[in-house]
Amino acid sequence: DAQDYDGAGRLFQAALRVDPRHVASLCNYGLVLEVTQDEDAGPRQEDVDALQAETLYRRAERLAPDNIDVVYQLALFAKNVLGDVDEARGLFDRILAIDPAEATTLTAYGAMLIAAAQPAQAQGLLTRVLAL
């Protein structure tokens, strides 16, 4: 079932018991926790899920600091869940230092800057995407 987040969470937990350093499982389990934050559960459960997701993302980042997918997921988490635009900006910049033509990052970074009322900086990033 495509919507079986509980089942997916259990599978990622099992995978991490076998290999606690499996970067893809860390990120994917973090994403499951992030996506399934239940507003009806109240702020405490949301905070627990978000804290656990952040812990998983940061552990994956420590294990694979130059993995673009890991850094990108952490950047989105920083922006969307933590509301930390400065951290997201730093993470997006790290990705672009690794791969200046990373189109997904350029697009997400540009969209974030537009939302942050920084259209001139966003235009530079989005122009780079169009040139790819």
**Each residue of 59-110: pLDDT tens digit?**
999 999 999 999 999 999 999 999 999 999 999 999 999 999 999 999 999 9
Average pLDDT over residues 39-52: 68
Rounded to 5 degrees, what are φ and ψ at 20? -65, -5
Strands (DSSP E) contained in 12-99 are none
Residue recorded with tokens 């970074």: 109
Residue with tokens 């993995």, as numbered in its chain: 67
What does the alpha-carbon distance between residue 105 and residue 125 come to, in Å, rounded to a whole number?
9
pLDDT confidence tier of residue 49, bands split at 50, 70 and 90: confident
Q: In b/e form, how buried is each residue of 6-20, taking b as 16+ CB within 10 angstroms? A: eebeeebeebbeeee
Share of the chain above pLDDT 90, in %: 81
Instruction: Give the Cα-Cα-Cα angle 53, 54, 60 (nearest 5 degrees).
Output: 95
| pLDDT on residue 54 | 95
Q: Check: CB of residue 45 under 8 Å from CB of residue 39.
A: no
CA-to-CA distance for 57 and 124, rounded, in angstroms?
Answer: 29
